[in-house]
Amino acid sequence: MPFLSETPDITTKNPLMALVIGNTMLSTIPGVSGAGPSPEKTLLTPNLDAELVATGAITSVPARPNTPTGCPTPASITRSMMELTGRAPLFINAGLVHQPAVPCLDVYGSPGGDPRRGDAVPLAGDLFRRGEMVGRLLSQCSDLLVLGECVPGGTTTALAVLRALGYEASVSSSYVENPVTLKEEICREVLARIEAAGVHEPLDILRLAGDPMMAVAAGIASTYGGRVLLAGGTQMLAVAAVLKELGHEPPHLATTVYVRDDPSATFARTVGEVGTVAYYVDPNFAHLGHVGLARYCIGEVKEGMGAGGAMVLAHLMGFTPDEIARTVFDFVSAYS
Amino acid sequence: MPFLSETPDITTKNPLMALVIGNTMLSTIPGVSGAGPSPEKTLLTPNLDAELVATGAITSVPARPNTPTGCPTPASITRSMMELTGRAPLFINAGLVHQPAVPCLDVYGSPGGDPRRGDAVPLAGDLFRRGEMVGRLLSQCSDLLVLGECVPGGTTTALAVLRALGYEASVSSSYVENPVTLKEEICREVLARIEAAGVHEPLDILRLAGDPMMAVAAGIASTYGGRVLLAGGTQMLAVAAVLKELGHEPPHLATTVYVRDDPSATFARTVGEVGTVAYYVDPNFAHLGHVGLARYCIGEVKEGMGAGGAMVLAHLMGFTPDEIARTVFDFVSAYS
């Protein structure tokens, strides 16, 4: 298998890896998110991921960067790519329950609410406009923006937003067994609310059904002057779909083959329907000799914290597939 | 008079204007700070300044960007320079009482306490280290960092820090009549606490007597890879003195002639004692035909929100003294 499904026509002198982090209260519903040791503790995952990517270790709480099932977190992959490339990542706080332990460009949003109970992101329009300000700011200091995210429970908001925008999408999950029934149930309730409200504009859909990450990421991508690569799976695909609906050229995506190959999701088909391109990276985790990484290949974790995009970035900067896989292996072997 | 006291040996392709904003509870003591319509309301001034510099207007509260005595705020000068140069400024939230209305790179600090009553910045060391992370991040996206501040009451913390570091400094003020007696009284109490604690290390001095801006700005300047220009008067001079004491080459400063010419302060002498250089900009406000700006020349306001450094930056980017003064005049004339 090739390392990249196709080579992006991107050259960059000054790339920036930025990660939008936020919460949706959907992740506290048992069974929705596997990104944490308990539903309540999924809320802290973006903070711990940011700490790991920024500093190389989690010291603010006693925790190891493994998933509850013992896989290295995708943040570990992103961190190892930051070490390999020597780039410092930027974190963008779109709305978190817990205060981060590392500096973040903060738009002073709030965690997303449960979209079955009321507007999920009451100030989605304001967050989009603050994202626009961030996009202008980042334009003057980089020529390529690799924009990832960490929002536990965010594939469920992405499903609702994609459906509300008219796509027949199914979405990916960090679970091996995608909790499709639960997500579909939530989605049905949310779509009924959207229909009752007679809402069609993309920022209104984000207000009712999205999460703060989506509004901020869409704002950033809409004003950024260089090339944008959305680093992620279905959640970033929802951002691309929102941008298209707002009249923008939807940015290309970069993610792992594990997202593309998820049989319960329709990622590649929906990418085509949105009218954009996704680059799929295959880091060949099956053959590295690390049990936790190998489990990515049977459908665990798959993606997160811009891991796929971080590997694509390293490749664009001239590092070989072997250097990339070896760096991930060395980093995760040091603690697991 | 020349526009600049001397021409900095700086060339820049990709400058960044960054403004560290924060609070010290000293500004709520009646008579300490003129940067707000009441002692309590000085706490909101950094937020309103940031909003003005970012967007060109204050809309979050009903307020005009004038000082209580009717002068245009220095933030107006900084904003007009951002419009002239087309650069987007970055705000760094070091510790504020009120949540900002514009995106900030947030280090998740807290407002500084009254240094007479206890440690002013209990986590000064942590804030310094988060500043170091910010400095590394900004290094990869700019070659010149013009670093200003807005901390009402901050000349009093600066006085205490400079004295504790062994300088016989007096400091400037935004008042025409510098409230020297009150500042000296506060300073005496603070220095007695520092002596009783037997503290000599610069970060310990910041912990006891400084404000969050100083710790963050010193951290940023200590790791920034390009050229740093500290944009401000006595407050940034205190940051330079801290950096020197930490073993760093103290960065050069850029400020207005109104700071240098303040008869109650000893700015130029202390700059020499710290072993650095200050560039003084004379925007010739006396002859523009604007009463509020002319009052800068008789000692009101003087500096703030990196105004002097913003004008120096515009000059370094090739704008003439006349274009600079005219842009300030046009901007402030539009609302006052």
Rounded to whole angstroms, the Cα distance separating B198 from A137 reads 44
Rounded to whole angstroms, the Cα distance separating A316 from B61 reads 46
Closest CA to A93 of A22, A17, A41, A16: A22
Q: Confirm whether B331 is domain-assigned.
A: no
Q: Confirm whether B1 is domain-assigned.
A: no
| B14 vs A: CB within 8 A | yes
Rounded to whole angstroms, the Cα distance separating B285 from B295 reads 8
Q: How confident is the model at residue B179 (pLDDT cuts 50, 70, 90)?
A: confident
Question: Which residues share a beta bridge with B148?
Answer: B19
The pLDDT of residue B171 is above 80: no
Are B216 and B131 a contacting pair, CB within 8 Å?
yes
Nearest to B137 among A88, A100, A130 (CB): A88
Are A145 and A226 a contacting pair, CB within 8 Å?
yes
Average pLDDT of the residues in A285-309: 92
Interface ipTM: 0.95
Rounded to whole angstroms, the Cα distance separating A36 from A304 reads 13
Q: Confirm whether B5 is domain-assigned.
A: no
Nearest to B133 among A102, A139, A142 (CB): A102
Q: Confirm whether A89 is domain-assigned.
A: yes
| B225 vs A: CB within 8 A | no
**H or E segment to which residue B90 belongs:** strand B90-95
Quick: pLDDT tens for B183-212.
999 999 999 999 999 999 999 999 999 999
Total domain count for chain B?
1
| B268 vs A: CB within 8 A | no
Distance from CA of A59 to the nearest CA of B (A): 13
What pLDDT does A160 receive?
Answer: 97
What pLDDT does B176 receive?
Answer: 76
Domain extent for B30: 15-317
The pLDDT of residue A177 is above 80: no
Residues in chain B within 8 Å Cβ distance of A140:
14, 16, 87-88, 141
**Cβ contact (<8 Å) for A100 and B107?**
no
Q: Confirm whether A229 is domain-assigned.
A: yes
HSE-up of A269 (CA within 13 Å, CB side)? Answer: 13
**Cβ contact (<8 Å) for B101 and A88?**
no
Q: Confirm whether B7 is domain-assigned.
A: no
Any idea what the Cα angle at residue A283 is, between residues A279 and A284, rounded to 5°? 125
How far is CA B271 from each of CA A91, A225, B4, B222, B244, rounded to the nearest angstrom?
36, 40, 17, 18, 12
CATH number at residue B52: 3.40.50.10210
| A100 vs B: CB within 8 A | yes
What pLDDT does B222 receive?
Answer: 98
Q: Confirm whether A324 is domain-assigned.
A: no
**Cβ contact (<8 Å) for A133 and B102?**
yes
Closest CA to B213 of B112, B79, B126: B112
Cβ burial of B211 (10 Å; 0-12, 13-18, 19+) is buried
What pLDDT does B163 receive?
Answer: 97
**Cβ contact (<8 Å) for A54 and B90?**
no
**H or E segment to which residue A252 belongs:** strand A252-256
Conformational region of residue A302, where left means phi above 0, alpha means psi within -120 to 50, and beta covers everything else = left
Quick: pLDDT tens for B254-301.
999 999 999 888 999 999 999 999 999 999 999 999 999 999 988 888
What pLDDT does A70 receive?
Answer: 85
Nearest to B141 among A16, A99, A103 (CB): A16
Residues in chain A within 8 Å Cβ distance of B142:
141
Residues in chain B within 8 Å Cβ distance of A107:
103
What pLDDT does B298 receive?
Answer: 87
How far is CA A152 from each of CA A33, A42, A93, A177, B244, rounded to the nearest angstrom?
6, 6, 14, 16, 45
Q: How confident is the model at residue B238 (pLDDT cuts 50, 70, 90)?
A: very high
Q: Confirm whether B283 is domain-assigned.
A: yes
Residues in chain A within 8 Å Cβ distance of B16:
140-141
Are A321 and A2 a contacting pair, CB within 8 Å?
no
**Cβ contact (<8 Å) for B141 and A102?**
no
**Chain B, window 112-151: residues with a beta carbon less than 8 angstroms from a chain A beta carbon:** 130, 133-134, 136-137, 139-142
Quick: pLDDT tens for A23-75.
999 999 999 998 899 999 999 999 999 999 999 999 999 988 998 888 999 99
**Cβ contact (<8 Å) for A106 and B101?**
no
